[in-house]
Amino acid sequence: MVVSKRHPQDSPRINIHEPWDLQYWSDRWNVPRRQVVEAIRRVGDQVQDVAQALGKL
């Protein structure tokens, strides 16, 4: 069985409906997935905005 890891394709947005996308950004920013989701709900799904909301810029 081959297991592949999915990564965003240089998208400026985070897809809240894709668990692998949330996990990627959660791991990258070292925060729980729920924090990523909460930030998206506050500032929208733009990677730059979410990173800023999480203090990761």
Confidence of residue 11 (pLDDT cuts 50, 70, 90): confident
DSSP 9-55: -S-SB--TT-HHHHHHHHHHHTS-HHHHHHHHHHH-SBHHHHHHHTT
Structure confidence by residue, pLDDT tens digits, 12-46: 999 999 999 999 999 999 999 999 999 999 999 99
Domain edges within the chain = 19-53
- Cβ atoms 8, 32 nearer than 8 A: no
Report the interhelical angle of 33-43 vs 19-29 (nearest 10°): 100
What pTM, to 2 d.p., does this model score? 0.82
CA angle 5, 56, 23 (to 5 degrees): 25
pLDDT at 5: 59
